[in-house]
Amino acid sequence: MVNGMTPNIHFWHGKRVLLTGHTGFKGAWLALWLQRLGAKVTGIALPAATTPALFTLADVAQGMNNHFIDIRDAAAVASVVRTTQPEIVLHLAAQALVRPGYAAPLETYATNVMGTAHVLDALRGLGSVRVALVITTDKVYRNREWAYPYRESDPLGGHDPYSASKAAAELVTASYREAFLQAQGVAVATARAGNVMGGGDWSADRLLPDAVRAWEQGATLHIRQPQSTRPWQHVLEPLAAYLQLAQALWQQPPLAGAYNFGPLPHEAATVQQVIELAARAYPSAGVRYDDQHQGPHEARWLALETAQARSKLGVQPRWPLATAVEHTMAWYRAQQQGADACALCHADIDRYLKATP
The CATH number assigned to the domain holding 26 equals 3.40.50.720
pLDDT given at position 3: 47
CA-closest candidate to residue 190, choices 136, 118, 116, 117:
136
CA distance 38 to 133: 19
CA distance 189 to 102: 27
Total count of domains within the chain: 1
Residue 123 within a domain = yes
Residue 224 within a domain = no
Residue 325 within a domain = no
Residue 354 within a domain = no
Residue 347 within a domain = no
Q: H/E element holding 132?
A: strand 131-135
pLDDT given at position 1: 47
CB neighbours of 256 closer than 8 A, spacing ≥ 6? 177, 182, 187, 188, 189, 249
* Domain, as residue range, for 142: 9-197+230-266+300-319
Residue 4 within a domain = no
Residue 357 within a domain = no
Mean pLDDT for back-to-back runs of 10 residues, the chain (357 residues): 73 98 98 98 98 98 98 98 98 94 97 98 98 97 87 96 97 98 98 96 95 97 93 97 98 98 92 97 94 64 94 96 98 98 98 95
pLDDT given at position 307: 96
pLDDT given at position 298: 66
pLDDT given at position 290: 86
Residue 289 within a domain = no
Number of continuous H segments (helices) and E segments (strands) in the chain: 14, 13
